[in-house]
Structure 1
Amino acid sequence: MPIVQLLVLAGIAIFLILRLRSVLGTRDGFEKPKVPSSQGRRDDARRDFEVIEGGPDHDIVDHVPENSPAAEALAKMKRVEPSFSVSEFLSGARGAYEMILMGFERGDMDELRPFLADDVYDSFDGVVAARREQGLTVEAEFIGVRELSLADATFDESDGLAEITVKYVGELTSVVKDAEGEVIEGSPTAVKRQKDVWTFARNMGSDDPNWQLVATDE
């Protein structure tokens, strides 16, 4: 995501950051799930494998073309971690989009740290620092995610690294003000439509349940 776009993203309400951990950390793959009994795990695994082996897994083919490289990658993720759900992941990714953007604009980088890869964190942190040095402030309201789709998925069987790329179309209002409080960009009433492509990564089967944002594009 270009720095100019990052500078004009939304201002923050306190409750958004409080919601960050809950949205990034639900059983859709962004928080540690409750540990089921051994029998429950076996039953869940059996059901998931029956769906995959007995015919198209609609949790996969509802989001990517059947037999595509992305579908094959998602199926491999499920074999390693049978509790993984694509639909629930996307639900979490929808919330993560708003939460990360809002947390970034608040400048609470410590809060975002667990959910960002090092290079993404450094990029965001650099923008926050530059904004402070220039005396810029952002006032904005996140309207919502209008479109969301799974764009790609890859899985490295050698180390279990899964990457899922999500396309977003979001809407928000935003203004950038200088140190004197004068609006230098944007409008508090004009709704801006923004397109982003984010890639999340995680080692499937690891003890850490959190997905990290590893790349951003538009």
Structure 2
Amino acid sequence: MIRGDLDVLKDWCFEAPYNTLAHPIEQAKKAFYTFDSKVLDVSHADIIAGKIMEQGPVLVINFNAQQIMVVRDAKGKVVEGDPDKILRIMYVWALCRDQEEFNPRAAWKLIDISASSSEQWL
């Protein structure tokens, strides 16, 4: 989602989170915008819940990420974000085991996502 790569996103998400995450990416691509965002650090990753649901086993994880979020137009001008501002984003992801995928490295997909951000104080 940081790179705006819809093919990877579609492969790693179930339909509902894919549609939510893909919409702003599709709008940006229609306007010929590109994503120039970076993940600088990921920390404090924890499994906070695990349960069996009708879709299959679900793990809920949370983690912090330090990111720079920038969208540029076709000329390279920043249209959203700030290349000099580091954001601290707290994520909660729910991952569900895709029962149709036999490869254990590819079987966990995003079923729900929550994020809240704040400016990083250095």
TM superposition score normalised by structure 2: 0.74
- The 5-angstrom pairing of residues 37-186 of structure 1 reads 101-102=1-2, 105-107=3-5, 109-156=6-53, 161-186=56-81
Greater share of strand: 2
Aligned to 1:57: none
| Bigger radius of gyration among the two | 1
1:79-132 CA-partner distances (Å, limit 9, x unpaired): xxxxxxxxxxxxxxxxxxxxxx34xx242x223333210122222332221111
Do structure 1's residue 194 and structure 2's residue 89 form an aligned pair? yes
- Give the whole-Å Cα distance in 1 for the aligned partners of 2:51 and 2:87: 32
Cα distance, 1:194 vs. partner?
A: 0.8
- Give the whole-Å Cα distance in 1 for the aligned partners of 2:76 and 2:55: 49
Instruction: Say what the alpha-carbon RMSD is for the aligned residues.
Output: 2.4
Gaps of 5+ in 1: 1-100
Gaps of 5+ in 2: 116-122
- Give the whole-Å Cα distance in 2 for the aligned partners of 1:182 and 1:139: 11
Q: Say which SS state the counterpart of residue 190 (structure 1) adopts.
A: coil
Aligned length: 112
Q: Say which SS state the counterpart of residue 32 (structure 2) adopts.
A: coil
The sequence identity of aligned pairs, in percent, is: 19
Which letter maps to 1:172? Q
Cα distance, 1:135 vs. partner?
A: 2.8
Aligned to 2:120: none
Contact kept in structure 1, 2:32 and 2:73, CA below 8 Å: yes
Query: Measured at CA, do residues 170 and 164 of structure 1 come closer, stay the same or move farther in structure 2, by a change above 3 Å?
Result: same
